[in-house]
Structure 1
Amino acid sequence: MPGKRIKSTGLAKGPGTPGIPKVDPILIVDNVTRNFGGVTAVDVNHLEIPRHAITALIGPNGAGKTTLFNLLCGFDKPNTGSWTYDGHNLAGVPSFKVARMGQVRTFQLTKALSLLSVLENMKLGAKNQRGERFWAALMPWTWGKQETEITAKARDLLKRFKLDAKEQDFAASLSGGQRKLLDMARALMNDPTLVMLDEPMAGVNPALTQSLLDHVLDLKDRGMTVLFVEHDMHMVRHIADWVVVMAEGKIVAEGPPETVMEDQAVIDAYLGAHQDVDLGVVTGRIPTIDTKESK
């Protein structure tokens, strides 16, 4: 677990309650819903994500966290609602344009292109590549300098993420944890402002957990905003400045980690009503609820 960091203060304009306005929000969500048949997966009235902070999005399995991620990044379309990123309305904007604007994400299941090398995967993450255009591709002297710069940037990031020794290996040869590192490093090729991580620790062996945690903290140190989905409460307690809790598609609690963990609505969401249990006790992990079995 990383050493204790000084967390951001004064992020919200009042005590932590669902939908509380933030002092300097980078992402604002209003009345966003997503239905699948008769099931409402997301029903968020209002949510603001504070700039230059690490926000954890937590909740039991089936709470709608990944669906909300998909909506905000343009991978899915809502039934109702709108949201803005850095003042720009993103409703209806496709995912590739969202990424170009500086809002990038990683996935719980890694998306590396297995039969390309690690370095080639990295280079795919760079934006505005002149050589990608058909006619320009036939004239390498028009984009050769940019290609050299992109390669140098990719190698610098691989070195930072301790993947430089793997740059010529196929991405398929990487371990699960190394693929998580590759996903995060490739996202930074886009020079993002907001980085959204969907369960960055899922399936990662303990040997690489510390490295991933340090890199998440480093994103904030470098001026980026981080929003991540996670179940490990020890991780949330140590690195999150703000915590948002979802249950049954709704935001049920918000606040600093030390406050949210004691919120009765959070305890009810995870363990059912009237349970006097510390969510971080013994294992440090939140019990997950299989919504199919609980209904």
Structure 2
Amino acid sequence: MSSDAAPTKKPVKSVGLHVGDAEPGCKKTDPILIADGVKRTFGGLTAVDVAHVEIPRGAITALIGPNGAGKTTFFNLLTGFDKPDTGNWSFDGTSLAHVPAFKVARMGLIRTFQLTKALGLLTVMDNMKLGATGQRGENLFRAMLPFLWRKQDDEIEAKALELLGRFKLDAKKDDYAASLSGGQRKLLEMARALMSDPTLVMLDEPMAGVNPALTQSLLDHILDLKTQGMTVLFVEHDMHMVRHIADWVIVMAEGKVVAEGDPHSVMQDQAVIDAYLGQHHDQDLGAADTGHVEALKELIDDEQ
């Protein structure tokens, strides 16, 4: 290996994540992301009303809750894609209030979307190269002088090819992104996110619409992010997946954080059971929430 190769990030142990009792808003031993009083309303509806939450560094944290709990809206607020009515939040000690999404990404906080944002009319390789930061050729003057950016562009392409190889997409590098399956687009979006060497990766329902054949591959890649020293925060409805890979679980319901803890204890928490079941006592469950409830019941039975 070349002596000037990029250093490998040292994995961070995810033990002793919190201080005191595991309760909503509990303090973490080394939080990377802290949110205080974040509230977002749409007309008369309060979508997010988070009093306090901390995301532990070096761990995989799952954000779960029934449909309409405010999880994706909370993601949008933390990453600059939406603006809250009130509240403060910081990443690695730096306030993110009023910071636009592109600057948040440059700081090392990268997110993916529930509906993938791959640019279908660009090749897989071009999608990857867009994820790299600090490209000299993005300057209008320098763009006309290839000798100023050609070497860096070659390095970016080599890095992209290495990541595509890890995600089993290298054979697709010259294909248009529009030709990829839903699962392959998820893999491409995750690989593209890594082009900027993020510190915190936020994944919004990474398993949604993914063929079961690719599920294990995605799980392995999420676990690998932690191995490489990154922090992961993800939204997910698959309770079995949450229990399998998450070190910490945060539960939202009606815009609020109602429970926190390790996966095993959270599945037994009455507030979690109420979040999935209590609101439906007098009405039929929708198809999506029915699946979440049944999965939760199965996990509770397994724990007992």
Task: Verify same fold: TM over 0.5.
Answer: yes
Q: Residue 290 of structure 2 corresponds to which residue in structure 1? A: none
Aligned mate of 1:256, from 258, 262, 266: 262
Q: Structure 2: how far apart are the matches of 1:274 and 1:204?
A: 28
| Matching of residues 1-295 of structure 1 within 5 Å | 8-272=14-278, 279-282=295-298
Query: In structure 2, what residue type is equivalent to 1:16?
Result: A
Q: 1:91 & 1:253 partners in 2: Cα distance? A: 25
Q: Distance in 1 between matches of 2:146 and 2:279?
A: 64
Task: Specify whether residues 124 and 70 from structure 1 end up closer, same or farther in structure 2 by C-alpha distance, changes over 3 A only.
Answer: same
| Cα deviation code 1:79-130 (max 9, x no counterpart) | 0001000000000000000000000000000000001000000000000001
Give yes or no for contact 1:267–1:279 (8 Å, CA) kept in 2.
no
| Whole-angstrom CA distance in 2 between matches of 1:161 and 1:153 | 13
CA distance in 2, matches of 1:250, 1:95: 23
Contact 2:114 2:205 in 1 (8 A): yes
Q: Structure 1 residue runs of 4+, over 3 Å off? A: 277-284
* Separation (CA, whole Å) in 2 of partners of 1:56 and 1:35: 24
Amino acid at match of 1:101: M
CA distance in 2 between counterparts of 1:180 and 1:274 reads 32
CA contact (8 A) 1:267 1:273 kept: no
C-alpha change, 1:226 and 1:206, in structure 2 (3 Å) is: same
Extract unaligned runs of 5+ from structure 2.
1-12, 282-292
- The answer to whether the 8 A contact 2:65-2:253 is kept is yes
Distance, in Å, in 1 between the alignment partners of 2:294 and 2:209 is 25
Q: Which amino acid in 2 is paired with 1:198?
A: D
Shift, 1:15, TM fit: 1.9
Write the distance in 2 (CA, Å) between the matches of 1:112 and 1:274: 36
3-state SS of paired residue (2:268): coil
Contact 2:17 2:29 in 1 (8 A): yes
Report the AA paired with residue 23 of structure 2: T
The amino acid across from 1:49 in the alignment is I
CA offsets per residue over residues 193-216 of structure 1, 9 Å max, x none?
A: 000000000000100000000000
Contact 2:240 2:295 in 1 (8 A): no
Q: CA RMSD in A?
A: 1.6
Question: What is the CA distance between 1:51 and its match in structure 2?
Answer: 0.1
One-letter identity of the residue aligned with 1:36 = F
Aligned residues: 277
Higher helix share: 2
TM-score by length of 2: 0.89
Structure 2: distance between partners of 1:280 and 1:65: 18
Deviations 1:221-242 (A, max 9, x none): 0000000000001000010000
